Structure 1
Amino acid sequence: MKTRNLVAALSVAALAASLTACAQETTKTESGVNVIKDGDLTVCTSLPYKPFEFKQGEDIVGFDMDLAKMVADANDLTLNVVVTGFEGIQSGQALNTGKCDMAIAGMTITDERAKVIDFSDPYFDATQALLTNDESLKSLDDLDGKSLGVMAGTTGALYAKENAPAGVTIKTFEDLGLQAAAVSAGQIDAAIQDNGPLLDYAKANPGTFVTAEFDTGEQYGIAVKKDANDDLLTSINKVVTDSKSDGSYDEIYTTWFGSAPKS
């Protein structure tokens, strides 16, 4: 396709997507929030990302799911979870096309993402970590001449791009499960990802180790459609604040991480 025709096609597609998003009908609940399905809080997430969100039997469970249920309960709604790709969540597409009311997926708040989605107040502190099957690999410099797995669209991928030596071969994976499995199988030498899921994986998979953590000062946020759902955002922020005050946040944190967060 010629460049001019490609640009025109993309412009038409973008306009169509915009019109579809604008035409999305919503229902206002008694609590004042707008939802795409009457009686439900429809929440997008991306799997697997244990212990934040993962499938257990037929259910989607995890720390994020418990927090999402608190938001649903606060608005007398039933939690309805939609599993989708992380790229569609962090780009705002899942929200713009009316796939869900809010998104929670262990997603770091960044300036770039905040241009296309509205974030709640931070609800979780995170950092990057290194998963490997060789305990001698304790830094990105140790990976010079070796391979490093990243997950597409993540802050870990960006950190690797900016900080890994030129001799590191970076391989991109679609999700955490494939990324971690590649380390276990010896297909790659290490993987970089948020510390919570990697610590959980190493604990459950003997022979893999978290050998380093990188203090990136990251914080997770819950997302809603940009400039379109202030009432829901206000409700989310209230749930996060109230749960930290009444102890319910510490309860779900202990359930999934073994102890309450450090104050």
Structure 2
Amino acid sequence: MKTRHLPTLLAATSATALVLAGCTSTSGENQSESGVPLVEDGKLTVCSNTPYTPFEFERDGEVVGFDMDLADEIAADLDLEKNVIQTGFEGIESGADLSTNKCDIAISGITITEARQSVMAFSEPYFDDELGLLVPAGSEIQSFDQIGDARVAVQQATTGQTYAEDNGLNFEQQEDTALMLQSLETGGVEAVIGNVSVLGNRAAENPDLELIDQESNGEQLGVAVNSENTEMLDAVNSTIERINDDGTMETMREEWMGL
């Protein structure tokens, strides 16, 4: 599945991002009422890259999804208006969009990695994007252990493909999520292995499919913040803690992912 693990950045790009992170800070000219530095007065400016259903995608001219609901909660806690800037994922992953003050935070299904932590700060994880197993309703396959010789589909260059290779499965690789799911729905394969966020969303939309098993792959998603904006990082973590405690996060998971 597409889990926002782009290929390793070119050395030059990484070096540029590190320089930017080291020499550029939030201006401090604009602040929320609670003293959090902002790119634009009165607004929480959010960088995101669409489409990446169910995290962020356009519907009726508006960017919606799980991540956008999270951004709404952060903005509400800071008493700010949310302003979404759609940008290339390269600018998000490299840290450039944050270090150059293009946005206050980046929320875009970003997997927390050591390389990314060197150029930006991450909130506490807000989602564990485990591997899921999607099958047709009524399938005899009811767990990863029962796949056996069944033909499965995975998306290339993802943890789904790694799992299939490591476990010697009979698999086909597809270029993107749509083709992978299409292969299952047309009977080309008997199961799909991918990230639970995407597979759960598809199962919720299609009653003929079932998400029947999950397995940890260590992938955790976080909100990215300029490393120097510790006030914003604290505010984001406070919101994540609140919505975990009051049930909002559970409601969001059910709405957008069927989990």
C-alpha displacement of 1:240: 1.3
Aligned to 2:38: 35
TM-score by length of 2: 0.71
| Aligned-partner SS, 1:231 | helix
C-alpha displacement of 1:83: 3.2
CA–CA distance in 1 between the matches of 2:120 and 2:140?
40
CA–CA distance in 1 between the matches of 2:132 and 2:82?
31
Aligned to 1:232: 232
TM-score by length of 1: 0.70
CA–CA distance in 2 between the matches of 1:122 and 1:169?
31
| Aligned-partner SS, 1:82 | strand
Determine if contact 1:243/1:249 at 8 Å carries over to the other structure.
Answer: yes
Out of 33, 45, 48, the position equivalent to 1:45 is: 48
Determine if contact 2:107/2:223 at 8 Å carries over to the other structure.
Answer: yes
Moved more, 189-198 or 60-69: 189-198
Aligned to 1:6: none
Moved more, 139-148 or 103-112: 139-148
Q: Deviations over 1:59-88 (max 9, x none)?
A: 222232122111112223211123345555
Within 5 Å, which residues of 2 pair with 1:47-196? 47-86=50-89, 88-131=91-134, 135=139, 139=144, 142=147, 148-150=153-155, 155-156=159-160, 159-160=163-164, 163-165=166-168, 168-173=171-176, 176-177=177-178, 179-181=180-182, 183-184=184-185, 191-196=192-197
Change (3 A) 1:132 1:255: closer
Determine if contact 1:144/1:165 at 8 Å carries over to the other structure.
Answer: no
CA–CA distance in 2 between the matches of 1:215 and 1:221?
17
C-alpha displacement of 1:97: 4.8
Determine if contact 1:150/1:191 at 8 Å carries over to the other structure.
Answer: no
Change (3 A) 1:189 1:252: closer
Identical aligned pairs, as a percentage? 36
Change (3 A) 1:37 1:202: same
- RMSD between aligned residues: 3.8
CA–CA distance in 1 between the matches of 2:20 and 2:120?
17
C-alpha displacement of 1:128: 0.7
Aligned to 1:210: 211
Q: Deviations over 1:105-132 (max 9, x none)?
A: 3334344443343211122334111335
Determine if contact 1:148/1:171 at 8 Å carries over to the other structure.
Answer: yes
Amino acid at match of 1:37: E
User: Highest relative contact order (Cα 8 Å, sep 6+), 1 or 2?
Assistant: 2
Structure 1: runs of 5+ lacking an equivalent: 1-8
Amino acid at match of 1:28: N
Change (3 A) 1:14 1:256: closer
Aligned to 1:219: 220
Amino acid at match of 1:201: R
Structure 2: runs of 5+ lacking an equivalent: 1-9
Amino acid at match of 1:61: V
CA–CA distance in 2 between the matches of 1:95 and 1:160?
36
CA–CA distance in 2 between the matches of 1:144 and 1:35?
54
Change (3 A) 1:15 1:110: closer
